[in-house]
Homo-oligomer: A and B are copies of this chain.
Amino acid sequence: MCDAAGNATPTVLIDNDRVRVTRWHFKGRGDNTGWHRHEYDYVVVPLFDGVLDIKLAGGETVDAQMLNGVPYYRELGVEHDVRNGNDFECAFVEIELLEPRGESGAGIADLLKA
């Protein structure tokens, strides 16, 4: 999902028809994902207590507090560069939902009935 290279390390751990699960590892303060736009809805599970400095497209920076194992969900379209805001290495697990949103199950039944 990277458009501009950062120096954090992404490792894809699961990749199938439904999800791509990537661990992002940041060695030290300031290590970053690089600028990217999320093409899929996603869940993040932080593996540390600390801060991510998230640079947004408008120039704003958000200091996002992370708690180990406390996840958050975001919809596709988010564009940012995520930086380690801590004096220690840290990592999170990102679960991207590869299937389009809201086009499954009942949606198909509705289409076929129409």
A69 — nearest CB in chain B belongs to which residue?
A: B47
A16 — nearest CB in chain B belongs to which residue?
A: B73
Stretch at the interface among A29-37, A52-60, A100-108: A100-108
Stretch at the interface among A2-10, A18-26, A80-88: A18-26
Q: Is A78 engaged at the interface, CB distance under 8 Å to the other chain?
A: no
Interface residues in A94-114 (C-beta closer than 8 Å to B): 95, 97, 99-105, 107-108, 111-112
Q: Which 4 A-B pairs have the closest CB atoms?
A: A99-B104, A104-B104, A103-B104, A100-B105
- Nearest Cβ on chain B to A51's Cβ, whole angstroms: 18
> Is B19 in contact with A43, judged by CB distance below 8 angstroms?
yes
